[in-house]
């Protein structure tokens, strides 16, 4: 948007840039076009722009795909954009409080914005928090924040922010922007960064909650040695340092991201809740060695067979699904890990699993919730499904439980998870059934019918 257009539009609206809303409007059209091009938005793809202002970036994004959502906090600008782009979805609201979970129903979305600097980190955390429906983000940030996001170990900019965002997102510092490309000119330089999700397997898995706590603790006094900062964990420090191949005097800023993940996994083992980074050989053997009861069309046990043979022959067998609700009536969904032999990386019930030979449905449900979510809770039966091709020839019993978390997700089973409002799930199921494991879809239908 040209400088003269920005000025005349603001005059028409009878308004001036509001400093408290971080309003610095981009007037360099080449940069605006370049920035939107970085995301490579395809026709029909959904994109979300945060803090669109007068639409400097919007005009290039609509040329690529008409499926845009704009979130603008200034009501006058939101009204202006509504008139200018009647076919776009325009939300007058705070991007830092936007419920990102509703975007799952839109498929992987691309997000961008010249962010207002007073609230950029909050907005960034909101859109990068796990689990995220976002497949790429491009943001203009204060240069100093962009440097912290993309910093290397042993530098001043490297810190908790670098690691907390970097564990899940690859951050690329694209270019620096001088104050002169904005009106009014901000006091500092800006920079454009691009964030894309890390490939699964690019780094070892670890418990995200524990990683966050340890990193924050380690960097809370960055000049102190980690040995002192992590004393509450009661680690065998010489052994930890030997495993990480670092000096015992190491400080938080000297450990790479991979070393922080390894440290988290060592602490998890030490704390008695070891998590596998990938299925060990023993686990893989256990899977193949699992024995199920094979049942007839009336769910009566006929004989036993290995998991492999049961699935190969489509023999009827038994499974449980557990729906865990929080105090607001939201349902916890899990995203299956990429290590799962069936339906990897699809969304599923809070916990689910096969009934092993000689076991019953309810004790299996109790075991699954403990093994997968790390908690125990009262269970109540809410439904049952007959064994058909749709359930993968499983007789399924569905249970409900109440728990607000937090859960300790086993990363070899579950990639991530979150509570969702029931209407968010319903919308998501109807627009993108391909995101869900078929067994969950059947349980969901039964649950909705019973509600
Ligand atoms: N995208 C426009 C451009 O490049 O010219 C405007 C960028 S300006 C730096 C930031 C924009 O974010 C302003 O339009 C401001 O009103 C808006 N804004 C400020 N706080 C916001 C918030 N919490 N949520 C959404 N928008 C916000």
Q: How far is the CA of 233 from the centre of ligand 1 (A)?
A: 42
Q: Which two tokens stand for residue 155?
A: 């530098």
Pocket test for ligand 1, best of 1, 18, 21 (most atoms within 8 A of CB): 21
411 pLDDT band (50/70/90 cuts)?
confident
Indicate whether 193 and 321 sit together in one domain: no
Domain presence at residue 203? no
Task: Tell me the C-alpha distance between 437 and 441, whole Å.
Answer: 7
Indicate whether 303 and 382 sit together in one domain: yes
Nearest atom (ligand 1) to Cα of 49: 1
Looking at residue 280, its pLDDT comes to 41
Phi/psi-derived region of residue 137, left when phi > 0, alpha when psi is between -120 and 50, beta in every other case: beta
Query: How many domains does the chain divide into?
Result: 3
Looking at residue 268, its pLDDT comes to 86
Indicate whether 239 and 355 sit together in one domain: no
User: What pTM does this model have?
Assistant: 0.89
Mean pLDDT of the chain: 93
Last residue of a domain, one of 243, 270, 297: 270
271 pLDDT band (50/70/90 cuts)?
low
Indicate whether 258 and 365 sit together in one domain: no
Nearest atom (ligand 1) to Cα of 118: 20
What is the tens place of the pLDDT at every residue in 199-216?
878 999 888 888 999 999
Pocket test for ligand 1, best of 51, 127, 182 (most atoms within 8 A of CB): 51
Looking at residue 272, its pLDDT comes to 39
What is the tens place of the pLDDT at every residue in 107-126?
899 999 999 999 999 999 99
Over range 78-88, report the average pLDDT: 97
Looking at residue 275, its pLDDT comes to 38
What is the tens place of the pLDDT at every residue in 331-353?
999 999 888 888 999 999 999 99
Domain presence at residue 51? yes
Q: Taking the CB of residue 259, how many other CB atoms lie within 10 A of it?
A: 16
Looking at residue 284, its pLDDT comes to 37
Domain presence at residue 275? no
Last residue of a domain, one of 147, 165, 197: 197
Indicate whether 323 and 235 sit together in one domain: no
- Domain span at residue 235 reads 208-270
Q: Which residue has the tokens 């440097």?
A: 147
Where residue 262 sits, what CATH number does that domain have? 1.10.8.100
Indicate whether 395 and 260 sit together in one domain: no
- The DSSP-derived string for 9-42 is HHHHTT----GGGT--EE--HHHHHHHHHTT-PP
């Amino acid at each position: 948007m040209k400088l003269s257009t920005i000025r005349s539009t603001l005059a028409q609206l009878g308004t001036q840039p509001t400093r408290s809303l971080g309003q610095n409007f981009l007037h360099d059209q080449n940069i605006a076009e370049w920035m939107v091009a970085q995301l490579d938005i395809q026709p029909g793809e959904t994109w979300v722009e945060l803090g669109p202002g007068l639409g400097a970036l919007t005009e290039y994004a609509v040329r690529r795909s008409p499926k845009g959502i704009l979130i603008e906090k200034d009501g006058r600008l939101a009204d202006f954009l509504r008139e200018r782009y009647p076919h776009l979805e325009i939300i007058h609201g705070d991007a830092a409080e936007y419920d990102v979970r509703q975007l799952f129903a839109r498929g992987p979305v691309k997000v961008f914005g010249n962010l207002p600097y007073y609230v950029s980190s909050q907005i960034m955390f909101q859109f990068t928090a796990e689990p995220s429906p976002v497949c790429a983000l491009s943001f203009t940030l204060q240069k100093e924040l962009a440097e912290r996001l993309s910093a290397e170990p042993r530098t001043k900019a490297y810190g908790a922010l670098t690691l907390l965002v970097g564990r899940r997102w690859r951050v690329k510092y694209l270019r620096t922007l001088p104050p002169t490309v904005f009106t009014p000119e901000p006091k500092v330089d800006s920079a454009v960064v691009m964030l894309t999700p890390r490939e699964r397997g690019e780094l070892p898995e670890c418990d995200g909650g524990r990683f966050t706590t340890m990193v924050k603790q380690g960097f809370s006094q960055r000049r102190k040695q980690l040995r002192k900062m992590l004393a509450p964990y009661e680690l065998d420090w010489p052994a930890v340092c030997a495993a990480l191949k670092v000096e015992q005097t190491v400080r938080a800023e000297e450990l790479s991201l991979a070393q922080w993940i390894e440290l988290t996994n060592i602490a998890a083992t030490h704390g008695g809740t070891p998590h596998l980074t990938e299925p060990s050989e023993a686990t893989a053997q256990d899977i193949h060695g699992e024995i199920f009861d094979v049942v007839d069309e009336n769910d009566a046990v006929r004989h036993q067979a290995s998991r492999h043979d049961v699935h190969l022959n489509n023999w009827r067998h038994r499974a449980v699904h557990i729906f865990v609700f929080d105090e607001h009536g939201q349902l916890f969904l899990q995203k299956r890990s990429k290590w799962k032999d069936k339906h990897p990386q699809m969304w599923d019930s809070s916990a689910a699993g096969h009934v092993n030979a000689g076991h019953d449905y309810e004790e299996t449900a109790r075991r699954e919730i403990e093994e997968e979510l790390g908690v125990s809770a009262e269970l109540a039966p809410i439904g049952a499904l007959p064994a058909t091709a749709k359930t993968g020839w499983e007789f399924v019993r569905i249970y409900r439980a109440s728990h607000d978390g937090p859960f300790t997700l086993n990363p070899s089973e579950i990639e991530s998870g979150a509570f969702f409002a029931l209407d968010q799930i319903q919308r998501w199921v109807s627009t993108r059934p391909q995101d869900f494991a078929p067994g969950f879809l059947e349980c969901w239908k039964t649950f909705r019918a019973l509600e």
